[in-house]
Structure 1
């Protein structure tokens, strides 16, 4: 069975104090398309510490695709892009018809020397287009993923968000889920290190709940350890598998604005 945290990674976290979370990131130019002028999307793929706005190098993803109406399409023409001063990637995609679009990234394994393990974050997000909202609760069929139980678009800041953590299509009881805000405009500063990354536990069915405090993009990352190890310089190393979901929460528009 996979484990929620390896002994080696747990020791490194204990020695270093409050953990600084990594997040695979899939961020589109918008989470909802209501006008043809918004239909030409750009989707950024990166690996970062989103609240602290510290980037890490993201090798070209092993796979990047979009899923709509149960059909999967590879995103071709990925282009390199500097994101938070590090290597990242971007793709252009034009939405031509109503639907709920899941944008998914499977990265190359990332070697994290500080934790003595590899990291593989399966990350995804959703874009709803032209009034359609069916299918947002359908799994993408990833090795591990968070299936939203709250519609992952069209949400106000302050709403409660729920998701279910899956590994190999099965719920992960008691999964630990890290939550961070993408501080893209650098308008917030955490009062102390404990508030950089929020942490919630899933229940026996792998379901977690989080109340989103303010507007912006929020990432939810459920971390487990793979059964299989990977070789690093001749030694077998643990592999952290992350199920990451990004969702945007917005403020209402005041009349007259």
Structure 2
């Protein structure tokens, strides 16, 4: 192979290898347990590759952003402000709970065109924050097109705890759904190979999956399904759409 061909092959391989790593829509709160001494909950919305610490993708202003509480759904889209991350567009918001209960924050992003995978990506993400030690309604569903219903309480978890959930699409369990799992890397871990970047779990015939979190920090669980519709690519051609249902869970070291 000529030198130019070798260089081209290496460049293509690197691009494809990088793109093969999972995209994760982050919606990370400052705490997963709000107490009377806290002023507010701050939330950061970034579209990135958590374990690799990037690259970050541009995230247009979401279609929906809100919280589901004991009183119903609250539209928080107007509270979002731009907060660029690694030079790419990202968002932030703040919210103060007013009563005990589970607060399920969620985001529906605009479709993201991924040219390497030749498809659009829409990842519906959520995170549960308990307020004032209520311990209630932590399995509340938002009603997203694809959503993970937690079977394990998604907060107050020790490192090593097993997180379990049910993958649902249009409310129904998804048998044998594939779930991608990544840890939000703080720079303390260097994966020894690509296989360690994104963990893969397969649900059973009831759509149920389990995963033991081996390290403290935020963990993202992304259940992926193909949409029953297509969207236009930049050239105007109809292309497949990947739908993701994400939930974020925090593990804490026992000291």
TM-score in terms of structure 2 length: 0.90
The question of whether the paired residues in 1 share the 8 Å contact of 2:47 and 2:90 is answered with: yes
Q: Write the distance in 1 (CA, Å) between the matches of 2:115 and 2:71.
A: 38
Aligned residues between the structures = 239
The question of whether the paired residues in 1 share the 8 Å contact of 2:104 and 2:140 is answered with: no
The question of whether the paired residues in 2 share the 8 Å contact of 1:33 and 1:39 is answered with: no
Matching residue of 1:28: 29
Secondary structure, aligned partner of 1:38: coil
1:139 maps to which of 141, 144, 165? 141
Specify the structure having the higher radius of gyration (Cα): 2
Matching residue of 1:116: 118
Matching residue of 1:161: 163
5 Å matches for 1:234-249?
Answer: 234-249=236-251
Q: Write the distance in 1 (CA, Å) between the matches of 2:81 and 2:205.
A: 41
Matching residue of 1:57: 58
The question of whether the paired residues in 1 share the 8 Å contact of 2:180 and 2:223 is answered with: yes
Q: Unaligned regions of 5+ residues in structure 2, if any?
A: 1-12
Matching residue of 2:130: 128
Q: Write the distance in 2 (CA, Å) between the matches of 1:84 and 1:37.
A: 32
5 Å matches for 1:147-186?
Answer: 147-183=149-185, 185-186=186-187
1:227 aligns with 2:228: yes
Secondary structure, aligned partner of 2:116: helix
The question of whether the paired residues in 1 share the 8 Å contact of 2:109 and 2:123 is answered with: yes
Matching residue of 2:103: 101
Secondary structure, aligned partner of 2:195: helix
Q: Write the distance in 1 (CA, Å) between the matches of 2:17 and 2:83.
A: 32
The question of whether the paired residues in 1 share the 8 Å contact of 2:16 and 2:116 is answered with: no
1:191 Cα offset (Å):
1.0
Matching residue of 1:200: 201
The question of whether the paired residues in 1 share the 8 Å contact of 2:179 and 2:224 is answered with: yes
The question of whether the paired residues in 2 share the 8 Å contact of 1:156 and 1:250 is answered with: yes
1:42 aligns with 2:36: no
**Structure 1 residues 206 and 39: alpha-carbon distance in aligned structure 2, compared to 1, 3 A threshold:** farther
Matching residue of 1:4: none
Q: Which has the higher contact order (CA 8 A, sep 6+)?
A: 1
Greater strand fraction, Structure 1 or Structure 2: 1
